[in-house]
Structure 1
Amino acid sequence: MTTYSEERRADRVTDAEQRRIDQAAAAERRAERERAADERAARLREQHRTEKARAKRERAEARTVRRAARGASLTAGNVYRKGTLVLVAASALGSLPAQVLHFVGISPMLLPLPLAIEGAAWVMAAGVAYADERGLPGWVRWFLRLLVVAAAGFAASINYAYGTHLSGLSASDAQAAGIGLAAVTLLGPLLFEIRQWVTNLSGQTGDADDKAGRVHDRKRRRQHRTVARLADRLVSAAPFGALSFEDAFAHAWEIETGTSTPGMSPKLHRRAARSLAALAEAQHPPQPNRFGRRFLRTPRPDRSVDTPTPSESADTSINRSTADLGKSTPLTLPVPVIIDMAKPAKPIVVRTAAAASPRPRRVTGRVPNAARSTRPVRTADQLLKEARKETKDWSDRKLTAEGIRKAVHTSPAKARVLRDTLRAERSIAPVDAAA
C-alpha cells in the first residue's frame, strides 16, 4: 500500500514537473514568435522609411534635373534662337492668308502662287544658312539674299495692295492694314537673316580663350611681320596639315634671329651679357688701393677702346680680386655665363683708374707720331682668342686676372672679364661632356 501511494505521488510530481516544463516551453515559443513579429515589423518599418526617403530623394533629383533643363533651355542663346523661329512662323501665318485671298479672288487656279512665292523666300533664306555652314564663297550667299529680297518684296507689295483695298475700312485704317501686312511679310526673312548673322558671329567669336588667342595672333603678326611672313611661306610650302603655324613660326624665328629662344635676338643676348657683367661688378665692390682711393674693377660694357695706358704697367696686385689672391669671400656668385664674343657686338670701353697715377699733364700741342703707341687696337674677340691660346694649358688655380693680363698685355679690367669668361667656359665644358 505504501509503495502504491509513493508511486502515485511520484507520478503526480512528475506530471507537475512536465506541465511546468511544457508551460515554460510554450511561453518561450510565444516570446520567440512575438520577438520575430517585432523584428519583422521593425524591418518593414525601416524598409518603408528607406523607400520613402529614396522616393523623396528621387523626386528632389528629378526637380533638380528639370530645373537644370529649364535653366539650360532658358539661356539667352536658346531664347533668341527659338524666339526668332516663333516670330518667323507668326510672320508667315500673318502674310500668307492675305496672299492666298488675293490670288484666289482673281482665280482659284492661282492658289499655288502664294505658296510658291512665300516658299521661295524661305527656301532661299535656308540656302543662305546652308552656304554659311558649308563655307561657300561670299557671292553665293549674296545671290541667295538677293533672291530672298525679291520674293519677299513681291509678296509684301501684294499684301500692301490687298490691305489698302479692304472693304469697310477708312482710308487711314486701310493704309495701316496695308503697311502692317507688308511689314509682317518682310519681317520673317529679315529676322531669319539676322539670326543667321548672329549665329555666325557667335561661332567665330567663341569663348574668352579663343578671343585671347586671336588677340595674341594679331599682336604677334603686327610686331614680328618678317617672321610671320616667313612662317606663312613655310606652311604653304609644306604639304597640307604637315606643318603647323606654331612650328613654322619657331623655325622662322630661328632663321631670322639665329636663336631658338622665342623673343630673343642677338641684340637681346648682348644686352643680357652686359647685364650679367654689371651684376658681377655690383657683387664685387671696389677695393681701396694703398692711397685709400677706390677704382672700378670691371669695365663699363658699352664701348671698347684698347688703348694702352700707364696704369697697365703699374703695380696691379691690389687690383686682383679675392679669388685671385686666394682669400675666401662670403659672397655667393651666380654661375657665370659664356659671353659669345664671336657675334658682332658693340665694342666695350675700358675705363680704369690708376692705382697710383700722377696728375695728368695738360696737353700743349699735337702728340708726335714717335710718341704715340704703335700697338694696334684689339677687339674683344681678338683678346678672347689670344687669351684662350695663351691659357690653354693653364690650371684653374693659375687662371687669374693678373696672369692673363701679363700674358696678353692688356688692362686689369679686361683681364678680369677674360678670366670670368674662361672660367665659365671651363665650368660648362664638363657639364656638356656629361650630357
Structure 2
Amino acid sequence: MSYYEERRADQAAKAEQKRLTARHDEELRAERQKEADERAARLREQARADRQAERQDRQQRRAERAERRKEVLTPAEIYRRGTLAVVTASGLASLPAQVMHFVRISAMLLPLPLALEGLAWVMAAGVAYADARHLPGWVRWLLRSLIAASAAFAASINYGYGLSLTAQGLTVADARAVGLGLAAVTLLGPVAFEIRQWVSTLDAATGAVDPDRLRHSRRRSRHHRKVVRIADRLVSAAPFGDLDRQEAFERAWSIVHGCPEPGMTPKLHKQAAKSTDKMHKARPLKDTDRAKKRSTADIDKSTLPLPDRSSTPAPAAELAPGPPKVDLTKHTHTPTLPVTPVRSAPIAPERVAAAESGRPRRVTGKVPAAARSAWSPRSPEQLLAEARSVTADWPIEDLTAEGIRKAVRTAPAKARELREILRAERTDGDGQSPEAA
C-alpha cells in the first residue's frame, strides 16, 4: 500500500471516529436533555399537586369557618351570647357608681358593692340550677325575690349617685337622667339573665316533645275536659308506668260516653244511623230499574225452548225441565218474579245423544252384555294385512316400529314384530309369502 493510500485510510478512520464521537456526544446530550425535561415535568407536576392541595386546604378551612359561623350565628347562639354581653355591660356600668358611692362614705365599704352585685348573680345562677334539677317552684321564687331585692337596692344607690352629680355642675334634669340610666342598667342585667333562663327552660321542656303532639294534647284537654280528668285519675291510681295515657283515655272515653271507640258518642251514632237511612231512601231509582231489567232478561233466557229428550232412554229426572236458575241475590231491592217452565219442541235424537255423551253418568252396576261394545281384537293375519296395505308405498327407511304403531294403532311389541316382517319381505325378494315369513 502506498503512502497516500495509508494517509487516506487514516483520514477516513479519523473522520469515522470523529463522526462516532459526535454521534455519542449527541446521544449523551439528548439523554441529558430528556432527563432534564423529565425532572422539570416532575417538578411542574409536584408544584401543580402542591397548589391543588393548598387550594383544597384553603377551601376546607373556608368551609370550616363557614360552618363555625353558621353554628355561631344561629338565633339561639346569638341570643345566648348577646344576653351574656348585655349582662356584662350592665355589670360594668352599674358597679363603678356603687363603688364610688360607698368609697365616698368610707374606704372600708369597698367590698359592699361587690357583694351586692355578686349576690344578684349568684342567685340568678341558683335559679338556673333549680331549673336544671327540677326543684320545687318555691325555691326558684325565693331566689328570684332575693335577686329582685339586691338589684332594687343597687338601683336605688345608683339613682341616688346620679342625683348627687348636681354638686359637680350638672343640672337637675341631667343628674336625674344619669340616675335613671344607672338604675335601669342595674336592673337590666338580672332581668335579661332571668328572661334568658326562662326561655331556656321552655325550650328544654318543649324540645323533648314533638310540637304537633303537644298541640294535639292541648286540644284534647280543651275539647274533652271531663274525659281527660278521668284519664288522669286512672293514670294516678295505677302503679307508675303500668297504664299508658292513651289506654287510660280510651277507658275514660268508654266510661263517659259508653263507646269503646274514642270520638264516637251516642248522639253521633244516632246521627250516623239517620244518615244511612236517608241515603237508602234517597238512592237513585236508576239502579233499581237496571236490576229489574237484568233479572227480566235472565228469566227470558231461562224460558227458551229446551231439548225434548223423550226419544232417548233417559231417567225422568234428567228429562223433566226444572225451574231456571236466576241469580237475583246481587240485585238489591229487586222482587223475585215467578218462573213458568215451558216444554220445548223435540229435536234430533243424535243431537241429544251428542249433548248427553259429555255428561258423566252415575254407576248403576255391571254393564250387561247386550249393552257392551261389539269390538273384537284383530288376529295376527288381519293386523299384518292392514300393516302391509298401509305401508305399501313407504320406503324401507320409514318402516319403524313407532310409525307402524301409530298407523295401525297397535301395541309397541306387535309393532316391532310387524316391522321385522315387513322389512324381511322388502329385502328377501324371493316371493316368500307373508304367512311363511
* TM-score bucket of the superposed structures, by smaller chain: 0.5 to 0.7
Does 1 or 2 have the higher relative contact order (CA < 8 Å, sep 6+)? 1
One-letter code aligned to 1:121: A
Assess, with a 3 A threshold, how the Cα gap between structure 1 residues 152 and 230 changes in structure 2: closer, same or farther.
Answer: closer
Whether the 8 Å contact between 2:253 and 2:260 is mirrored in structure 1 is yes
One-letter code aligned to 2:36: A
Cα offsets for 1:279-329 (capped at 9, x unmatched) = xxx8996244887899xxxxxxxxxxxxxxxxxxxx9967634899xxxxx
Give ranges in structure 1 of 5+ residues lacking alignment. 295-314, 325-349, 357-435
Tell me the CA shift for residue 164 of structure 1: 1.2
Aligned to 1:96: 95
Residues 1:176 and 2:177 are matched in the alignment: yes
SS of the equivalent of 1:162 reads helix
Tell me the CA shift for residue 63 of structure 1: 2.4
One-letter code aligned to 2:214: R
Assess, with a 3 A threshold, how the Cα gap between structure 1 residues 352 and 283 changes in structure 2: closer, same or farther.
Answer: closer
Aligned to 1:187: 188
Q: CA RMSD in A?
A: 4.7
Whether the 8 Å contact between 2:164 and 2:175 is mirrored in structure 1 is yes
Whether the 8 Å contact between 1:253 and 1:259 is mirrored in structure 2 is no
Aligned to 1:215: 215
Aligned to 2:367: none
Higher helix share: 2
- Distance in structure 1 (CA, Å) of the matches to 2:11 and 2:229: 120
Taking the TM superposition and a 5 Å limit, the aligned residue runs for 1:159-308 are 159-166=158-165, 167=167, 168-206=169-207, 210-219=210-219, 222=223, 226=227, 233=234, 237-238=238-239, 240=241, 245=245, 248=247, 286-288=291-293
One-letter code aligned to 2:291: P
Give ranges in structure 2 of 5+ residues lacking alignment. 281-286, 300-321, 339-437
Whether the 8 Å contact between 1:235 and 1:245 is mirrored in structure 2 is no
TM-score normalised according to structure 1 size: 0.56
Assess, with a 3 A threshold, how the Cα gap between structure 1 residues 40 and 236 changes in structure 2: closer, same or farther.
Answer: farther
One-letter code aligned to 1:63: R
**How many percent identity over aligned positions?**
47
Whether the 8 Å contact between 1:164 and 1:177 is mirrored in structure 2 is yes
Cα offsets for 1:180-230 (capped at 9, x unmatched) = 2211111111111111122222333339x8211212334456569759955
Cα offsets for 1:97-134 (capped at 9, x unmatched) = 11111111111111111111111111111111111122
- Distance in structure 2 (CA, Å) of the matches to 1:153 and 1:243: 49
One-letter code aligned to 1:182: A
One-letter code aligned to 2:216: H
Assess, with a 3 A threshold, how the Cα gap between structure 1 residues 43 and 260 changes in structure 2: closer, same or farther.
Answer: farther
Whether the 8 Å contact between 1:289 and 1:355 is mirrored in structure 2 is no
Aligned to 1:320: 327
Aligned to 1:80: 79
SS of the equivalent of 1:320 reads coil
Whether the 8 Å contact between 2:162 and 2:178 is mirrored in structure 1 is yes
Rg larger for: 2
Whether the 8 Å contact between 2:95 and 2:117 is mirrored in structure 1 is yes
Assess, with a 3 A threshold, how the Cα gap between structure 1 residues 254 and 285 changes in structure 2: closer, same or farther.
Answer: farther
- Distance in structure 2 (CA, Å) of the matches to 1:147 and 1:204: 25
One-letter code aligned to 1:214: L
